[in-house]
């Protein structure tokens, strides 16, 4: 059984933002909403590293636990999805999320920021797979088309990997062996309770 | 008296527990209490076929290019 | 639990989480620049739900059949394959191009968002003209007629040289070729394109070192590198997908990555060794490294003896440099990458030749994993350069000599006397009349001076009076204040582009400006040449948007208006004013013998595109199948006719393979001897060569002497006789017979010689360090002065008279410029793409905390950057250690603000880019390379003050 995961290799990420625009392009994400972002630490100094961050689709997702209307669920492949019909835009998930993934279309206070939007691992939402309703609310459902998330598939340096967790960590491990050093897969402890 | 009171108390406690427990039933709360992968609000989500999963796994592997 | 949010952009709120920490403690470029996400740049408030604004892709998402079209990204020169999904004629999605051996599915931010380029809302939609300060829509026919009449008027009164044809690095090969041919038919050499201001010094420097002015190896070949040396280049932002190949070598070969740059770039962040140096001191740096190499006898003596001329003349003046030298010496072959940081200088040609010298000393040339890997900047700047959309040559670098014109007239089937009659002439110093046909035109970097300079000082009959900006961003050029004056002085301005560009708003003209909408390359088809010399074929993804037309159609319409369409297109089929692209390819195939653009027929390129998966991802060679042995995209030189089946040349000057299989030696281009020394190779030759030594370039006479002329067919022999008998050489033989026979005997048609470190025809035969015109190091001016003032390319050009004056007190900081990953070139296209524009919303200047604190400037403050020629720009301060003390950096993609004034209202309605900003080049100053007139935009002086 495949368990879908993201992995960002900080040694490879060059902050080119292909993942960000590929996501925008694929799902027609409007200005101001960023399902995926690239974060740079030590910007402009030795030790500068970048990491591409979106919803990590945690095993034990904090967003799911705090949602007052239970709009979240996890697919059989471990992808955390939510229903925009149920979402009330309260913002609890945003504060619970260790990765800052949930996004809102409007700035504002409780209840006035619109339905939450986040990375779907290109797996759509609760609606009928590949229906136009699903596309309107959540963007394309690539998994149902047999494709992986576009951000990873288009990554310029193959820093961002997505797909079956075992395969992805194998690829990463091979790289660490080639490099002779490794710092672990970023965020995997928090997301999947695993030291990558 | 004491015995009756105790019996009454036990009965009361049991009733309370039963009421409490019944109040926790999913139907009454109208909410999900335990999350099961692949189910959404009690319904089974549309599943990916074996074929789709195989493609996805081979595509995961294809990221090995460099 | 809820905190007040101050901005609409969600940011990680948990300070205990990693992101939260990063966001709070670190100012990264984007967090810093990203303002409130909504309602910026005139964008409408975002829709409440993702995708709830009805888009073409949504409309087409269900039901309609998906067609797959393959094209090539139109941004940098890596040549990433774009796979488009088309439904009902609408481009609905982009998929990774896995099969492409060049990008293996990868894209950068720009490539991943090109769908918007073709389908975007902010395009220039209709032909328009400026009437009384207002844009008025018009028809194509009216536009062509009005513009054409005015141009013919100018031609009559001032001569053909008063109209300037400024072409593009975004043309396809076919369009570039037609464009070059077009202004030849118009009767001028006043045409040029971006290459002048990006890699002209490379092309001149490198071609004069070993024969061809192009990237010698390929991006993929860097997999074989044991060391990677990058100077004056930031591929992580300018060529992101190339980093995939660099990082592979770094990880799998343990290849050290050395980055030399004044700025700690995103590339430097991934380097093992970062060398910071002062802008403009490249030659000194390279000579320093070379000193250690020779001092320690690390040079490749055998290679130098056999294949290099003039190395002993490199007089090198005497902890980190030694380490760098040692790394390069111990890790061979190493590749050497450079970009604009090396080329855009008054002594740019010196820099590029110094780089070559280092690679020659190490023996890193002509080998897999080595080479001079010059990353070109635009998607087809290599092709447009090869077709010489330039002011100093005919296609294929044939030059402008009588012989060159004769060759092309023969290819075109044109009457040479008719062509001659199209050109004007001037009186030379000797009083004799000289045809301007054989004189270099004004380069794009100097068109401003062509307008403003006193006409007595220009070597042509009159000033420039009409400018055609055909796919050119004016804000990629320095001295923009003077440019504004020049634009206002012109009689006529014509902009032909998918976007209005800064040209539409830069001047205060109220009349005499025309905007003609051109298609992007996604709405037409044809070939393009990537940096590694591979040709790729683009399919048409969608029909032209709005009223736009492809460049070749517009060229045809003008040719028709000027009355030479029948002559110019006599070998090309034309339907509804659109020339057949494949016929154009075949026409240039029949003439581009010098650099081997002859073997790449449309059929062959298309076959490569359709079978991308059969090519090896390191060697680029096809394994098995019908294309077995061929190299991806038939990298030029692909010798002989298509029928000859040459596989292309993946690595230039690689003697380990026979010429017939893509091997080569250095070109014999500079004669056979110099000052009594042999210039031909000694004991070095491509495998399988029947001549086991150096030899000059092939002619019919030479074939006869060798007794190989018997291998020619009767047809070939007849064709050769017709050209010039025994004197016919490999470049002008239209049958390809001489090339075929030379290669049959294992020889390179262009001869086998040594590379030269000494270019005796250049101002500095051995590359010298020369201080920039606006230098901060006045103490070095006496020892390393610039050139004397001189006349170049028809125009007076200043050097010493500028350097003589000391500006360093009033303007103490060094100013340099460069690229950002989200934008490209002048940025009109990318700033009109909301997915990219959102990521980079403000023009900024990077300055060191030391300098900022000294001026009481804080991160995010608005500042004035002032430069010595009196320009100032208002930008945001980005305080960072990325730049050294005393250095300021400007990205050059912004436009639409001028000295603090927003010009948005001047754009045609609905065609203004989402993001506007000050152009770096408003601030940049005078200064041009001594060989090519490349502009100096990497080193000037400035002062920065708080607004």
pLDDT tens, C740-750?
Answer: 999 999 999 99
Task: Give C-chain residues touching B62 at CB under 8 angstroms.
Answer: 98
Please check whether residue C680 lies inside any domain of the structure.
yes
Contact (Cβ atoms closer than 8 angstroms) between residue C262 and residue C278:
yes
Least confident stretch, A167-171, C383-387, C448-452: A167-171
Quick check: A158 and B45 CB within 8 A?
no
Total of domains in chain A? 1
Residue A156 in contact with partner chain B when CB distance is under 8 A: no
CA atoms within 13 A on the CB side of A177: 6
Minimal Cα–Cα distance from B24 to chain C, Å? 26
pLDDT tens for residues A126-142? 888 888 899 999 999 99
Minimal Cα–Cα distance from B52 to chain C, Å? 18
pLDDT value at C329 more than 50:
yes
**Structure tokens belonging to residue C620:** 């680029």
Please check whether residue C97 lies inside any domain of the structure.
no
Quick check: A22 and C48 CB within 8 A?
no
Contact (Cβ atoms closer than 8 angstroms) between residue C482 and residue C451:
no
As beta bridge partners, residue C91 has C86
Quick check: B31 and A148 CB within 8 A?
no
Contact (Cβ atoms closer than 8 angstroms) between residue C386 and residue C597:
yes
Q: Which residue has the tokens 């090869």?
A: C386
pLDDT value at A53 more than 60:
yes
Least confident stretch, C247-256, C578-587, C637-646: C247-256
Task: State the Cα–Cα distance between residues A147 and A139, nearest whole angstrom.
Answer: 14
Domain interval for residue C552: 128-132+160-197+382-589
Q: What is the pLDDT of residue C34?
A: 38
Quick check: C19 and A53 CB within 8 A?
yes
pLDDT value at C47 more than 50:
no
Strand C813-818 relative to strand C940-946, pairing: antiparallel
Total of domains in chain C? 3
Mean local confidence (pLDDT), C497-504: 97
Please check whether residue C9 lies inside any domain of the structure.
no
Are C489 and C418 in the same domain?
yes
Please check whether residue B15 lies inside any domain of the structure.
yes
Task: State the Cα–Cα distance between residues C853 and A27, nearest whole angstrom.
Answer: 44
Task: State the Cα–Cα distance between residues C841 and C239, nearest whole angstrom.
Answer: 21
Are C557 and C653 in the same domain?
no
Mean local confidence (pLDDT), C651-672: 96
CA atoms within 13 A on the CB side of C823: 30
Which residue in C103, C104, C246 has the most chain B C-beta atoms within 10 A of its own C-beta, making it the best mutation to test that interface?
C104
Of B38, B45, B57, the CB nearest to A164: B57
Number of H helices and E strands in chain A, helices first, is 7, 6
Touching A: C residues 273-292, CB under 8 Å: 274
Touching C: A residues 54-83, CB under 8 Å: none
pLDDT grade for C7, boundaries at 50, 70 and 90: very low
Touching C: A residues 76-115, CB under 8 Å: 84, 91-92, 94-95, 97-100, 102-107, 109-110, 114-115
Q: What is the pLDDT of residue B2?
A: 55
Residue C90 in contact with partner chain A when CB distance is under 8 A: no
Quick check: B62 and C248 CB within 8 A?
no
Largest alpha-carbon pair distance within chain C? 92
Residue A152 in contact with partner chain B when CB distance is under 8 A: yes
Residue A147 in contact with partner chain B when CB distance is under 8 A: yes
Quick check: A40 and C28 CB within 8 A?
yes
3-class secondary structure, C337:
strand
Residue A129 in contact with partner chain B when CB distance is under 8 A: yes
3-class secondary structure, A61:
coil
Task: State the Cα–Cα distance between residues C553 and C670, nearest whole angstrom.
Answer: 40
- Buried-exposed string A166-186: b where 16+ CB fall within 10 A, e elsewhere: ebbbebbeebbeeeeeeeebb
Residue A143 in contact with partner chain B when CB distance is under 8 A: yes
Of A2, A75, A161, the CB nearest to B56: A2
Chain B residues with at least one Cβ partner in A under 8 Å: 31-32, 35, 37-41, 45-48, 51-53, 55-57, 59-61, 63-66
Are C752 and C609 in the same domain?
yes
Quick check: B52 and A146 CB within 8 A?
yes
Quick check: C106 and A154 CB within 8 A?
yes
Q: What is the pLDDT of residue B17?
A: 62
Strand C163-166 relative to strand C191-192, pairing: parallel
Quick check: A157 and C47 CB within 8 A?
no
Q: What is the pLDDT of residue C40?
A: 36
Q: What is the pLDDT of residue C854?
A: 96
Please give the residue of chain A at the shortest CA–CA distance from B51.
Answer: A146
Are C463 and C562 in the same domain?
yes
**Which has more confidence, C431 or C575?**
C575
pLDDT value at C838 more than 90:
yes
pLDDT grade for B21, boundaries at 50, 70 and 90: low
Please check whether residue C715 lies inside any domain of the structure.
yes
Mean local confidence (pLDDT), C692-721: 96
Task: Give A-chain residues touching C888 at CB under 8 angstroms.
Answer: none
Please check whether residue C861 lies inside any domain of the structure.
yes
Instruction: Report the percentage of chain C scoring pLDDT > 90.
Output: 90
CA atoms within 13 A on the CB side of C428: 8
pLDDT value at C46 more than 50:
no
Dihedrals phi, psi of B55, to nearest 5 degrees: -60, -45
Of A75, A83, A168, the CB nearest to B60: A168
Task: Give A-chain residues touching B38 at CB under 8 angstroms.
Answer: 74-76
C320-330 and C348-362 helices, crossing angle to 10°: 50
Task: State the Cα–Cα distance between residues C884 and C261, nearest whole angstrom.
Answer: 11
**Which has more confidence, C661 or A112?**
C661
Domain interval for residue B18: 1-27
Which residue, among C899, C903, C904, C853, has the nearest Cα to C879 in the 3D structure?
C853
Dihedrals phi, psi of C338, to nearest 5 degrees: -140, 160
pLDDT value at C894 more than 60:
yes
Dihedrals phi, psi of A82, to nearest 5 degrees: -145, 165
Check residue C783 and report its DSSP letter.
Answer: T
Task: State the Cα–Cα distance between residues C486 and C360, nearest whole angstrom.
Answer: 44
**Structure tokens belonging to residue B15:** 């009733």
Least confident stretch, B10-14, C127-131, C600-604: B10-14
Contact (Cβ atoms closer than 8 angstroms) between residue C878 and residue C851:
no
pLDDT value at C2 more than 60:
no
Q: What is the pLDDT of residue B38?
A: 77
- Chain centroid to CA C295: 37
Task: Give A-chain residues touching C10 at CB under 8 angstroms.
Answer: 34, 94, 100, 102-104
Are C459 and C538 in the same domain?
yes
Does an H or E element contain A73, and which? strand A72-74
pLDDT value at C23 more than 70:
no
Q: What is the pLDDT of residue C226?
A: 96
pLDDT value at A9 more than 60:
yes
Query: A62 to each of A78, C35, C937, how far by Cα in Å?
Result: 14, 29, 51
Residue B62 in contact with partner chain C when CB distance is under 8 A: yes
Q: What is the pLDDT of residue A110?
A: 61
**Structure tokens belonging to residue C231:** 């100077």
pLDDT value at C567 more than 80:
yes
pLDDT value at C342 more than 80:
yes
CA atoms within 13 A on the CB side of A138: 27
- Chain centroid to CA C34: 30
Q: What CATH number is associated with residue A142?
A: 3.30.70.20
Quick check: C105 and A25 CB within 8 A?
no
Q: What CATH number is associated with residue C819?
A: 2.40.40.20
**Which has more confidence, B39 or C60?**
B39
Task: State the Cα–Cα distance between residues C29 and C34, nearest whole angstrom.
Answer: 8
pLDDT tens for residues C504-526? 999 999 999 999 999 999 999 99
3-class secondary structure, C898:
strand
Task: State the Cα–Cα distance between residues C866 and C899, nearest whole angstrom.
Answer: 10
Q: What is the pTM of this model?
A: 0.92
Mean local confidence (pLDDT), C891-911: 96
Quick check: C244 and B66 CB within 8 A?
yes
Please check whether residue C344 lies inside any domain of the structure.
no
Please check whether residue C398 lies inside any domain of the structure.
yes
Please check whether residue B44 lies inside any domain of the structure.
no
Residue A172 in contact with partner chain C when CB distance is under 8 A: no
Q: What is the pLDDT of residue A106?
A: 79
Minimal Cα–Cα distance from C120 to chain A, Å? 12
Q: What is the pLDDT of residue C908?
A: 97
Quick check: C28 and A30 CB within 8 A?
no
pLDDT grade for C853, boundaries at 50, 70 and 90: very high
pLDDT grade for A180, boundaries at 50, 70 and 90: confident
- The region that residue C814 occupies, defined by phi over 0 for left and psi between -120 and 50 for alpha, beta otherwise, is beta
Q: What is the pLDDT of residue C25?
A: 40
As beta bridge partners, residue C792 has C795
**Structure tokens belonging to residue C931:** 């060989």
Q: Which residue has the tokens 């939402």?
A: A125
Please check whether residue B3 lies inside any domain of the structure.
yes
Please give the residue of chain B at the shortest CA–CA distance from A161.
Answer: B63
Minimal Cα–Cα distance from B2 to chain C, Å? 49
Residue A173 in contact with partner chain B when CB distance is under 8 A: no
Task: State the Cα–Cα distance between residues C613 and C599, nearest whole angstrom.
Answer: 21
Quick check: C264 and A154 CB within 8 A?
no
Q: What is the pLDDT of residue A195?
A: 54
Minimal Cα–Cα distance from B9 to chain A, Å? 36
Q: What is the pLDDT of residue B32?
A: 60
Are C541 and C681 in the same domain?
no
Which residue in A11, A19, A28, A115 has the most chain C C-beta atoms within 10 A of its own C-beta, making it the best mutation to test that interface?
A28
Are C699 and C823 in the same domain?
no
pLDDT tens for residues C774-807? 999 999 999 999 999 999 999 999 999 999 999 9
pLDDT grade for A181, boundaries at 50, 70 and 90: confident
Quick check: C13 and A102 CB within 8 A?
no
Are C729 and C610 in the same domain?
yes
Check residue C513 and report its DSSP letter.
Answer: E
Average pLDDT over chain C, rounded to whole? 92
Chain C residues with at least one Cβ partner in B under 8 Å: 98, 104-105, 244-245, 247-248, 617
Long-range contacts of B39-43 (CB under 8 A, 24+ apart): B39/A73, B40/A73, B40/A81, B40/A83, B40/A126, B41/A70, B41/A73
Q: What is the pLDDT of residue C368?
A: 95
Instruction: Report the percentage of chain C scoring pLDDT > 70.
Output: 93
Q: What is the pLDDT of residue C876?
A: 97
pLDDT grade for C26, boundaries at 50, 70 and 90: very low
Domain interval for residue A34: 4-192
| Global ipTM | 0.95
Are C810 and C735 in the same domain?
no
Task: Please report all neighbours of C, defined by 3+ CB atom pairs within 8 A.
Answer: A, B
Q: What is the pLDDT of residue C14?
A: 34
B-C CB pairs within 8 A amount to 9
Are C689 and C551 in the same domain?
no
Please check whether residue C331 lies inside any domain of the structure.
no
């Amino acid at each position: 059984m495949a368990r879908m995961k993201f992995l960002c290799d900080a040694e490879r990420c060059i902050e080119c933002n292909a993942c960000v625009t590929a996501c925008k392009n694929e799902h027609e994400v409007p200005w101001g909403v960023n399902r995926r972002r690239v974060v740079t630490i030590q910007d402009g100094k030795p030790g500068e590293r970048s990491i591409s961050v979106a919803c990590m689709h945690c095993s034990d997702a904090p967003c799911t636990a705090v949602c007052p209307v239970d709009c979240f669920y996890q697919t059989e492949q471990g992808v955390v999805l939510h229903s925009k019909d149920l979402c009330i835009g309260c913002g609890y998930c945003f504060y619970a999320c260790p990765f800052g993934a949930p996004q809102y279309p409007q700035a504002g206070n409780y209840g006035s920021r619109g339905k939450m939007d986040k990375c779907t691992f290109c797996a759509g939402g609760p609606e009928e797979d590949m229906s136009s309703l699903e596309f309107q609310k959540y963007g394309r459902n690539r998994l149902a088309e047999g494709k992986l998330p576009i951000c990873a598939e288009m990554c310029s340096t193959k820093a961002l990997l997505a797909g079956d967790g075992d395969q992805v960590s194998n690829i990463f491990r091979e790289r660490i062996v080639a490099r002779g050093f490794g710092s672990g897969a970023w965020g995997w402890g928090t997301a999947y309770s695993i030291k990558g | 008296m004491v015995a009756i009171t105790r019996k009454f108390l036990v009965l009361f406690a049991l009733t309370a527990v039963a009421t409490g427990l019944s109040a926790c039933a999913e139907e009454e709360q109208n909410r999900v209490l335990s999350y099961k992968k692949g189910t959404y609000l009690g319904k089974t989500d549309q599943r990916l076929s074996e074929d789709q999963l195989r493609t996805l796994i081979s595509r995961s592997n294809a990221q090995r290019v460099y | 639990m809820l905190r007040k949010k101050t901005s609409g952009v969600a940011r990680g709120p948990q300070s205990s989480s990693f992101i939260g920490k990063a966001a709070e403690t670190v100012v990264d470029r984007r967090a810093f620049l990203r303002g409130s996400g909504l309602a910026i740049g005139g964008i409408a408030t975002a829709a409440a739900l993702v995708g709830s604004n009805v888009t073409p892709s949504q409309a087409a998402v269900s039901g309609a059949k998906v067609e797959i079209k393959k094209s090539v990204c139109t941004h940098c020169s890596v040549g990433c394959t774009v796979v488009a999904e088309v439904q009902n004629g609408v481009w609905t999605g982009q998929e990774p191009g896995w099969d492409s051996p060049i990008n293996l599915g990868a894209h950068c931010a720009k490539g991943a968002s090109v769908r918007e380029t073709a389908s975007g809302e902010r395009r220039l939609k209709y032909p328009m003209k400026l009437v009384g300060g207002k844009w008025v829509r018009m028809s194509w026919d009216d536009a062509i007629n009005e513009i054409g009449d005015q141009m013919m008027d100018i031609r009559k009164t001032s001569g053909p040289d008063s109209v300037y044809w400024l072409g593009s690095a975004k043309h396809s090969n076919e369009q570039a070729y037609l464009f070059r041919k077009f202004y030849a038919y118009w009767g001028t050499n006043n045409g040029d394109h971006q290459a002048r201001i990006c890699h002209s010094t490379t092309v001149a420097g490198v071609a004069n070192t070993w024969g061809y002015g192009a990237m010698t190896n390929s991006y993929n070949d860097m997999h074989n590198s044991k060391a990677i040396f990058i100077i004056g280049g930031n591929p992580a932002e300018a060529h992101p997908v190339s980093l995939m190949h660099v990082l592979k070598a770094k990880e799998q070969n343990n290849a050290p990555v050395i980055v030399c740059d004044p700025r700690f770039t995103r590339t430097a962040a991934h380097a093992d060794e970062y060398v910071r140096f002062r802008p403009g001191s490249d030659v000194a740096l390279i000579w320093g490294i070379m000193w250690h190499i020779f001092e320690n006898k690390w040079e490749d003596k055998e290679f130098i003896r056999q294949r290099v001329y003039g190395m002993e003349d490199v007089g090198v003046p005497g902890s980190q440099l030694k380490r760098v030298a040692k790394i390069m010496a111990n890790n061979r072959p190493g590749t050497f990458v450079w970009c604009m940081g090396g080329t855009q200088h008054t002594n740019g040609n010196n820099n590029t030749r110094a780089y070559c010298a280092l690679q020659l000393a190490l023996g890193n040339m002509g080998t897999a994993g080595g080479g001079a890997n010059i990353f070109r900047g635009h998607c087809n700047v290599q092709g447009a350069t090869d077709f010489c959309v330039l002011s100093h040559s005919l296609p294929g670098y044939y030059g402008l000599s009588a012989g060159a014109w004769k060759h092309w007239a023969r290819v075109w089937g044109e009457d040479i006397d008719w062509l001659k009659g199209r050109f004007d002439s001037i009186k030379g110093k000797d009083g004799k009349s000289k045809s301007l046909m054989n004189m270099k035109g004004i380069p794009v970097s100097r068109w401003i001076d062509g307008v403003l300079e006193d006409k007595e000082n220009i070597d042509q009959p009159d000033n420039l009076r009409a400018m055609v900006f055909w796919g050119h961003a004016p804000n990629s050029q320095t001295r923009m204040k003077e440019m504004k004056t020049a634009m206002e002085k012109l009689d006529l301005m014509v902009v032909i582009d998918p976007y209005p560009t800064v040209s539409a708003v830069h001047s205060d003209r109220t009349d005499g400006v025309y905007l003609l909408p051109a298609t992007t390359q996604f709405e037409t088809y044809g070939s393009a040449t990537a940096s590694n010399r591979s040709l790729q074929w683009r399919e048409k993804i969608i029909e032209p948007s709005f009223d736009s037309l492809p460049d070749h159609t517009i060229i045809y319409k003008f040719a028709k208006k000027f009355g030479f369409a029948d002559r110019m297109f006599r070998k090309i089929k034309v339907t509804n004013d659109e020339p057949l692209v494949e016929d154009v390819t075949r026409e240039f195939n029949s003439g581009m013998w010098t650099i081997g653009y002859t073997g790449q027929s449309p059929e062959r390129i298309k076959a490569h595109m359709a079978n991308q998966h059969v090519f090896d991802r390191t060697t680029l060679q096809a394994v098995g199948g019908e294309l077995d042995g061929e190299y991806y995209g038939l990298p030029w030189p692909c010798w002989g006719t298509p029928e000859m089946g040459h596989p292309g040349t993946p690595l230039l000057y690689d003697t380990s393979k026979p010429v017939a299989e893509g091997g080569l030696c250095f070109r014999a281009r500079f004669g056979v001897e110099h000052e009594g020394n042999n210039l031909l190779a000694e004991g070095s030759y491509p495998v399988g060569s029947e001549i086991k030594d150096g030899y000059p370039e092939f002619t019919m006479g030479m074939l006869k002497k060798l007794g190989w002329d018997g291998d020619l067919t009767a047809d070939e022999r007849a064709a050769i006789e017709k050209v010039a008998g025994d004197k016919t050489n490999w470049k002008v033989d239209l049958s390809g017979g001489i090339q075929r026979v030379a290669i049959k005997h294992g020889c390179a048609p262009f001869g086998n010689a040594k590379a030269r470190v000494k270019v005796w025809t250049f101002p500095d035969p051995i590359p010298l360090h020369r201080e920039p015109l606006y230098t901060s190091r006045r103490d070095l001016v006496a020892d390393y002065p610039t050139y004397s003032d001189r006349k170049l390319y028809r125009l007076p050009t200043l050097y010493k008279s500028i350097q003589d004056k000391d500006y360093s007190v009033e303007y103490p900081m060094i100013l340099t410029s460069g690229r950002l990953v989200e934008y490209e070139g002048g940025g009109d296209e990318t700033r009109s793409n909301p997915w990219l524009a959102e990521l980079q919303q403000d023009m900024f200047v990077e300055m060191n905390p030391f300098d900022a604190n000294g001026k009481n400037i804080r991160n995010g403050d608005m500042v004035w950057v002032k430069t010595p020629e009196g320009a100032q720009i208002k930008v945001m301060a980005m305080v960072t250690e990325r730049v050294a003390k005393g250095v300021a950096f400007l990205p050059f993609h912004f436009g639409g603000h001028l000295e603090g004034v927003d010009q948005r209202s001047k754009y045609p309605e609905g065609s203004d880019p989402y993001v506007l900003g000050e152009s770096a080049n408003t601030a940049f100053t005078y200064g041009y390379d001594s060989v090519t007139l490349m502009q100096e935009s990497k080193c000037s002086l400035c002062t920065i003050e708080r607004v």
